[in-house]
Amino acid sequence: MERTLSIIKPDGVSHGLIGEVIRRFEKSNIKIVGMKLLKMTKTEAEGFYMVHKERPFFDSLTDFMSSGPVVVMVLEGEYVIDKNRRLMGATNPEEADEGTIRKDFATEIEKNVVHGSDSPETASVEIAYFFNRFEIVG
Ligand code: GDP
């Protein structure tokens, strides 16, 4: 059994995609064990994406991620890290498979609707960034 962090990014929330993304998780038998709506400050977004701090898009990405509300969720299930990454599709929507969230809804490589942890190690760090143990209902 694994857990992963999912974020519906500001573009997903502003385009009215909260329900659609959650519907796809539920249809895939992915269990939501934590969920909240919040707006990150620029500093909080920088902390979350610290691994990308040397990348040329870091400033733009953290501006975007702190530009409006996001929905953060803890997902639980067997192989849920990979399962969520497959539902999301490739980072660049032009390269994403048909039927994935990013192919269907992303407008560009940065505004790509969803985030999902990419390994068990990053999942546990990312979950702890937003949730304490009382906010996860297993
Ligand atoms: P992910 O794991 O698929 O989200 O991709 P990464 O960890 O590589 O990148 C994190 C986030 O940075 C992506 O989801 C995009 O929002 C953004 N990003 C990645 N590559 C680029 C890029 O080349 N340009 C811009 N502007 N944003 C990018």
What are the pLDDT digits (tens) for 25-70? Answer: 999 999 999 999 999 999 999 999 999 999 999 999 999 999 999 9
The yes-or-no verdict on residue 133 having pLDDT over 90 is yes
Catalytic one of 75, 115, 130, 131: 115
Let me know: does 138 contact 31? Beta carbons within 8 Å. no
Question: Would you state the pLDDT for residue 21?
Answer: 98
Question: Would you state the pLDDT for residue 62?
Answer: 98
Q: What is the mean pLDDT of residues 100-129?
A: 98
Q: Output phi, psi for 99, to 5 deg.
A: 85, -5
Atom of ligand 1 nearest to the CA of 49: 10
Let me know: does 1 contact 76? Beta carbons within 8 Å. yes
Question: Would you state the pLDDT for residue 138?
Answer: 78
Angle between helices 80-88 and 18-27 (to 10 degrees): 130
Q: How far is the CA of 110 from the centre of ligand 1 (A)?
A: 6
Short-list 26, 34, 10, 30, CA closest to 126 = 34
Question: Would you state the pLDDT for residue 112?
Answer: 98
The yes-or-no verdict on residue 17 having pLDDT over 90 is yes
Q: What is the mean pLDDT of residues 4-30?
A: 98
Q: How far is the CA of 137 from the centre of ligand 1 (A)?
A: 30
**Helix or strand (DSSP H, E) at 6:** strand 2-8
> What is the percentage of the chain residues whose pLDDT exceeds 90?
99
**Taking the model in full, what pTM does it have?**
0.98
Question: Would you state the pLDDT for residue 10?
Answer: 98
